[in-house]
């Protein structure tokens, strides 16, 4: 079954797979790495313009390693999961320090870099070096859970371990894991890895899978048992807690006040609007914190934003200031023109708020 599975997948990909994505047809490990990090939890269509802009500004590891973090975050703004950008830059710095600026070839060395897990390391190594190693991203978990009829939520250790064993057993070829020594095996593992990703992204989708066009449908257990919609088992759901906060659009002399978020936590390092508790006396807080006299406060429509572990409701207030005393404010606080604010590294919901006001 192993060789047959891979052979069918390779034949399908040759005719129906994706071949013209910006990060394909290259063996440049840096470009492949950037793409794989951006594609974590983000769809291909959303990634493409970010990927192109990012590489225009940071064409190699050395450029990214030496850039200000705020600039890397600015080019990431809107992609979400900003720890990916911080980890990407920190990893580039470690590649400079530990590997002389050359992206490592060994799987263990790749996986040791910040923000790179086992599956991402394997994907980078397969595409860049032809390394024979299994991947297991979200799409691949769904494909294998259905094809092999694996019950249970794929995030549990036992189910994930079973899927890893299946993924490894289906790799094409019988050579031990490691960098390929010939062009043909290298091309085969890279193509197989891309084919598996494409199958999950285009046919074996979460909703409305196209089983009639699937190259491995003939021995798919979920299809045979009519359990395609039931597999993989959904993640156990718990009600997400909701948090509420007021965000202040402080305006003075045609400019907007932004505050840089702390280096750890939600939206770390990004520029955002100052926050206060929902039950705070806003004018008093503005006077106490900024030593500035606020004008009439204007409530704006609330904004909801979902994180992995909680839901956030932001209640924006437009607060014009009558003055701005010399020396007011604090480190990490800066006035921006509206144009400069929109070019800064902003969280997506803050950007949307500014766009509509």
Q: Among residues 248, 245, 247, 246, which one has the least CA distance to residue 320?
A: 248
d(CA 172, CA 88): 30
- In which residue are the tokens 């390391």 written? 121
User: What is the three-class DSSP state of 295?
Assistant: coil
d(CA 29, CA 129): 8
SS3 content of the chain, % helix, strand, coil (to 5): 45, 15, 40
Backbone angles phi, psi at 308, to 5 degrees: -60, -40
125 — alpha (psi -120 to 50), left (phi > 0) or beta? alpha
Backbone angles phi, psi at 9, to 5 degrees: -65, -45
Catalytic residue among 36, 97, 244, 298: 36
Q: Are 117 and 126 contacting, i.e. CB atoms less than 8 angstroms apart?
A: no
Residue 36 catalytic? Answer: yes
Q: Among residues 180, 83, 195, 70, which one has the least CA distance to residue 133?
A: 180
d(CA 214, CA 341): 47
Contacts for 315 with CB less than 8 Å, ≥ 6 apart: 244, 245, 246, 247, 278, 299, 302
User: What is the three-class DSSP state of 336?
Assistant: strand
327 — alpha (psi -120 to 50), left (phi > 0) or beta? left
- In which residue are the tokens 């983000």 written? 42
Which residues is 177 bridged to in the sheet?
none
**What is the end-to-end Cα distance of the chain in Å, rounded?**
59
Alpha-carbon 126 to chain mean position: 20
- In which residue are the tokens 């080019």 written? 75
Which sequence positions are flagged as catalytic? 36
């Amino acid at each position: 079954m192993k060789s047959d599975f891979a052979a069918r997948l390779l034949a399908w990909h040759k005719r129906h797979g994706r071949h013209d994505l910006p990060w394909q047809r290259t063996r440049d490990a840096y470009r492949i790495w950037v793409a794989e990090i951006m594609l974590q939890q983000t769809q291909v269509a959303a990634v493409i313009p970010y990927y192109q802009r990012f590489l225009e500004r940071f064409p190699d590891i050395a450029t990214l390693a030496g850039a200000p973090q705020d600039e890397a975050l600015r080019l990431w703004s809107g992609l979400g999961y900003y720890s990916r950008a911080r980890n990407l830059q920190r990893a580039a710095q470690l590649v400079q320090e530990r590997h002389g600026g050359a992206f490592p070839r060994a799987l263990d060395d790749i996986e040791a870099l910040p923000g790179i897990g086992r599956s991402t390391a394997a994907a980078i190594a397969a595409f860049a070096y032809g390394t024979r190693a299994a991947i297991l991203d979200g799409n691949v978990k769904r494909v294998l859970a259905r094809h092999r009829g694996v019950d249970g939520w794929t995030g549990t250790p036992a189910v994930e371990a079973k899927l890893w064993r299946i993924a490894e057993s289906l790799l094409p070829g019988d050579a031990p894991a490691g960098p390929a020594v010939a062009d043909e095996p290298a091309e085969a593992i890279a193509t197989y890895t891309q084919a598996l990703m494409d199958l999950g992204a285009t046919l074996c989708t979460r909703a409305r899978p196209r089983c009639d066009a699937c190259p491995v449908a003939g021995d798919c257990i979920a299809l045979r048992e009519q359990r395609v919609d039931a597999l993989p088992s959904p993640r156990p759901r718990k009600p997400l807690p909701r948090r509420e906060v007021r965000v202040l659009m402080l305006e003075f002399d045609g400019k907007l006040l932004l505050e840089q978020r702390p280096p750890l936590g939600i939206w770390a390092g990004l520029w955002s609007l100052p926050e206060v508790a929902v039950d705070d006396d806003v004018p008093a807080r503005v006077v106490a914190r900024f030593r500035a006299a606020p004008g009439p406060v204007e409530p704006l429509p609330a904004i909801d934003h979902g994180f992995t572990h909680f839901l956030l409701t932001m209640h924006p207030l437009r607060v014009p200031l009558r003055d701005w005393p010399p020396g007011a404010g604090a480190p990490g606080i800066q006035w921006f023109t509206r144009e400069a604010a929109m070019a800064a590294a902003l969280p997506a919901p803050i950007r949307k708020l500014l766009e509509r006001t």
